[in-house]
Structure 1
Amino acid sequence: MTHPRLSAPSAPFLPSGTLRELSEAARAAGTGQVPDERWTARRFLDGTPAAVAVLDADLRYLYVNDTLAELNGLPVEEHLGRPMPEVIPGSGPSAEVAREVLRTGLPQTVVFDGRAPDDKVDVPRWWLGAFHRIEGEDGEILGVAAVVMEVTDGIRQRESLRRAQERLELLEETAARVGRTLDAAEACRALTDLLVPRFADYAAVDVLDPEGTRRAPATPVPVRLRRMAVAAAPGTPEPFTPVTRSGEVIFHQASSSMSQVLAGHKPVVLNRPDDDTVRLLAPTRQRLERYRTLELHSVAYLPLMVGGEPVGAVIVGRRADSPEFTPDDAELLELLTARAATGIGHALRYTHEHETALEMQRAFLASPRIPGPGVEIASRYLPAGRGAEVGGDWFDAVALPSGRTLLVVGDVMGHGVRAAAAMSEYRSLLRALALQGLAPDRLLTEADRTAHALDLDRVATCVLVLLDPAAELSVLATAGHVPPLVVRPGTAPELADLPVGPPLGTGFGGYESRHCPLPPGTLLLAYTDGLVERRGEDIDTGLTALAHAPVAAGNALPDILNTVLDRLAPANSEDDVTLLAARTLREPLRPR
């Protein structure tokens, strides 16, 4: 069926003579007697903007108003007496509905689509057709009437609302999936997994990298980016494999689309570019053959903008039988990447700070200093799990005069780079004070006073254990820290009973030492609260579990650390876990 104008003009009233001539023509064509009721309503039918037709039992036109004639693109005279399928090729479904109405007598309403001969644009349009059977006074079946109204605007509005709702849900899904993690690689993977295969056959995320190009250039220049994530649709051929590795550094030449996008802050869409364009725009000139093997015909580059500056870009490709990118596709992809950019930007910033803090932590905790004679030590550091910030845990062992050793385990409150920096200050401060030969309680007092005077912006908990193997004596003191585990030969593990002082840096002071016997072979395990503290659980539960751990004083120190971690350390801790194990030797060396 052809397509009328959106608002058809009212048809003029037909003169009685014309109606009589049409009726006589219908009878002459053998269409049967036309019911008088049809003609009594002619003024209404001829004047309505709806398309109206009356067909006989053989679906031949008995009456057609001007609106329907215009809709079908034929004069009224060329309809009358002819079957519907003959007048309108492709009207089979409508004819089937009309036959069903003739057979059952039940009215039917259907929606169908089509195009008009004079349509300049090949886009679908829709009509609502109502069919009912016409019967004579004696019940004779005379034919069927059809009233057709265009409903294109309503359907398009409904479809537009549906697409808008789907787009809104998709944007919300993008923000939720990408923004639920602070791990940059995971956030980028969430975006590529969203794009493939729903919108593309291939997607990759390249970001600015401290080891390559740190900031987006103002003009197109060669750039080295980090490929954070990549995804390919099932069935992608094997030659695609070399370009699907995440984590590698990708070089993009100055003429590449990537360089243009980073410098111009605008998307670039390439539909079926020629070989010369691909050679010019590809990351490297050797990629042309690979792209052709993949049948990659359309690529879109979209910047990831955060605060007006790009942090990277998304590459989206279609291959083989997939359609080219339309303007609507490009607009939707731009909205998706804009929504994802915020989450990826946050994750990149956090990941950079997290890795910086972790590197600082590892540098400071590479290994404690060599202890004094008669003491062996082992240590372990587990950074917080993914999505958690690195804390300020540290440990140390300082060899002192007269064959003594000072063990230190501390934890700066807070997380991130600033906590790691504060940790280094406290570590250095305690080392310097330890070499003055102060007792643990005096040492903590001086450290607290100095940190408070220096106005360090982070307080720290700390436990000190001074070992004197020759005197078989240990002196312990704590500044708000969890108590060490003590295991003497032949006895069960127990937590040291220590008076707890305030954290360092508060300026409150008030620390006390506790002297404990240290027979040869005694094991001490100092740790941070990440080992025993759990969200929603009293810390005493974790301390009790540690005290009942199957730890024997004579076991190898690495085995002891493994046993404790296997039993207590969570798989994905929210806080760092630091352990320092020390044991006095059975035959300690006497100082000279």
Structure 2
Amino acid sequence: MADVETRASEERLRRLEAVTDAALSHLDAADLLDELLDRVRDLLEADTVALLLLDPHAQQLVATAAKGLEDEVRQGYRTAVGKGFAGQVAATRRPLTLSEVGASDVINPLLLEKGVRSLLGVPMMAGGDLVGVLHVGSCTPRTFTDDDVRLLQLVADRAAAAGEIRAHRVEQTAALALQRSLLPATLPRPTGLDLAARFVPGHEFGVGGDWYDVFTLPTGWVGVVIGDVSGHGLQAAVVMGRIRSALRAYALISDDPAEALTLLDRKVRHFETASLATVLYAMIAPERDRVMVSLAGHFPPVLAAPGRPAALADVPVDPPAGITGSPRRSTTVPLPPGAVLAGFTDGLVERRGQVIDEGLDALVAAVRPAPTAELVCAAVVAAIDTETPVDDVALLVIRRS
């Protein structure tokens, strides 16, 4: 009897080690899920194993990975929460076993076609929220033990963490694609102006809501925008896109940057109440000799003119977009021939363990009049570390020819 208990204990330990193997931590999310499914099918001597992730908007479980039921994934199988075997596991958030599967117990015809006779399913949870369902099946009738349930739940917990990582990476990729699609593919070339820009996504916290924009208005003025929506990820990028489009529309009906940002305030207050956005909106005169600038909580641009020291433009900073307060102001800044105006987001000047003034001083020192805007951009990037930013970095340089 003691030998039987010892062997059972050793078997449980072997099973536990197989799904908590430290080597699995070195796999990326997709490979980890694949390896976990292989191991659990082997350990539980199952014929099928399937992982279904929750689509929270549709409240459906979507077949995401499988062994023995690969067609389920290829066909994009979905089942509503509460329906069928997996749906019941998701609805109750409790393990469920079926020693004898009947046609009324499952709604996925692939399980019956495969000849699955017994099923064990467990919920995948992350932070108290349902992520999906993991289930295994046997083509011969069997009764799953409590140890089997505990082992599968352990795998589900690990798979849930991997699924969260995978979902985060997918969202980050989508946010970066959206953000880059909203940045100008090529900068316009207005007469009398030379433009260059840099954009570096934040590597540590993911993509945020930084953007820049340049457009020529019907009056001949050139609109210049650089802004930053608080937060990171897809939601920040979506809000950024909406604010960018709204400001473009307001620019067409207003010839004053302060008025355009005042119109933007109403939009942000009503539709983007959970977001904080800072915006620099400038309009360059058709003669290119002056710039009207209005700041909604944003840093003033750096102005560098031949024969003068570079400095932050003397422009008052009004509250961020959507914040009520005193009327917004526009300030006219002279733009002599050869002068450079550099707008930027805080990711360029903020660093851990460094006060913001140090970053601003470094930027001002790096901006100098040069034959082209591209040379100015290159000089700033060379002087300031943009290879390991903690936030998105956007830099837009305008030079009067």
* TM-score, scaled relative to structure 2: 0.67
Counterpart in the other structure of 2:28: 186
Q: Retained in 2: the 8 A contact 1:409–1:526? A: yes
Q: 1: distance between equivalents of 2:270 and 2:325? A: 12
1:367 aligns with 2:185: yes
Counterpart in the other structure of 1:554: 370
Counterpart in the other structure of 1:337: 155
- Spell out, residue by residue over 1:166-210, the C-alpha distance to the aligned partner (whole angstroms, 9 max, x if none): 9599859699x58xxxxxx734567789999xxx9xxxx9998x9
Q: Retained in 1: the 8 A contact 2:288–2:400? A: no
Counterpart in the other structure of 1:410: 227
Call closer, same or farther: CA 1:430–1:264 in 2, change over 3 Å. closer
Identity of aligned residues (%): 32
Secondary structure at the aligned position of 2:62 is classed as coil
Q: Retained in 1: the 8 A contact 2:52–2:63? A: no
1:563 aligns with 2:379: yes
Counterpart in the other structure of 2:245: 428
Q: Which amino acid aligns with 1:533?
A: E
Q: 2: distance between equivalents of 1:538 and 1:582? A: 27
- Spell out, residue by residue over 1:305-356, the C-alpha distance to the aligned partner (whole angstroms, 9 max, x if none): 453735899xxxxxxxxxxxxx9x9999746533321211211222222222
1:383 aligns with 2:201: yes
Secondary structure at the aligned position of 1:216 is classed as strand
Counterpart in the other structure of 1:479: 296
1:444 aligns with 2:291: no
Counterpart in the other structure of 1:419: 236
1:457 to 258, 274, 284: 274
Q: 2: distance between equivalents of 1:554 and 1:453? A: 43
Q: Which amino acid aligns with 1:186?
A: D
Counterpart in the other structure of 2:391: 575
Q: Which amino acid aligns with 1:564?
A: V
Call closer, same or farther: CA 1:460–1:312 in 2, change over 3 Å. farther
Secondary structure at the aligned position of 1:505 is classed as coil
Q: 2: distance between equivalents of 1:494 and 1:505? A: 28
Q: 2: distance between equivalents of 1:312 and 1:477? A: 58
Q: Retained in 2: the 8 A contact 1:174–1:336? A: no
1:309 to 103, 128, 132: 132
2:349 to 532, 542, 545: 532
- Spell out, residue by residue over 1:218-257, the C-alpha distance to the aligned partner (whole angstroms, 9 max, x if none): 99462557xxxxxxxxxxxxxxxxxxxxxxxxx99xxxxx
1:216 aligns with 2:32: no
Q: How far did 1:215 drift?
A: 2.1
Call closer, same or farther: CA 1:190–1:479 in 2, change over 3 Å. same
- Single out whichever of 352-361 and 186-195 deviates more from structure 2: 186-195
Secondary structure at the aligned position of 1:362 is classed as helix
Secondary structure at the aligned position of 1:414 is classed as strand
Q: 2: distance between equivalents of 1:460 and 1:453? A: 14
1:489 aligns with 2:331: no
- Spell out, residue by residue over 1:558-581, the C-alpha distance to the aligned partner (whole angstroms, 9 max, x if none): 343233234324433332111211
Q: How far did 1:523 drift?
A: 1.3
1:116-265 alignment, distance < 5 Å = 171=20, 177=25, 186-188=28-30, 215-216=62-63, 220=69, 222=71
Q: Which amino acid aligns with 2:315?
A: L
Q: 2: distance between equivalents of 1:304 and 1:186? A: 22
2:175 to 357, 362, 372: 357
Q: Which amino acid aligns with 1:513?
A: S
Q: How far did 1:457 drift?
A: 3.4
Q: Which has the larger radius of gyration?
A: 1
Q: 2: distance between equivalents of 1:526 and 1:498? A: 13
Call closer, same or farther: CA 1:399–1:222 in 2, change over 3 Å. same
1:584 aligns with 2:400: yes
Q: How far did 1:371 drift?
A: 5.2
Q: Which amino acid aligns with 1:561?
A: C
Q: 2: distance between equivalents of 1:560 and 1:456? A: 37
Q: How far did 1:366 drift?
A: 3.8
Query: What do you get for the CA RMSD once the two structures are aligned?
Result: 4.9
- Spell out, residue by residue over 1:60-117, the C-alpha distance to the aligned partner (whole angstroms, 9 max, x if none): xxxxxxxxxxxxxxxxxxxxxxxxxxxxxxxxxxxxxxxxxxxxxxxxxxxxxxxxxx
Q: 2: distance between equivalents of 1:451 and 1:308? A: 32
Call closer, same or farther: CA 1:264–1:444 in 2, change over 3 Å. closer
Q: Retained in 1: the 8 A contact 2:200–2:386? A: no
Q: 2: distance between equivalents of 1:222 and 1:167? A: 29
Q: Retained in 2: the 8 A contact 1:392–1:413? A: yes
Q: Retained in 2: the 8 A contact 1:469–1:518? A: no
Call closer, same or farther: CA 1:223–1:485 in 2, change over 3 Å. farther
Q: How far did 1:397 drift?
A: 0.9
- Greater RCO, CA 8 A, separation 6+: 2
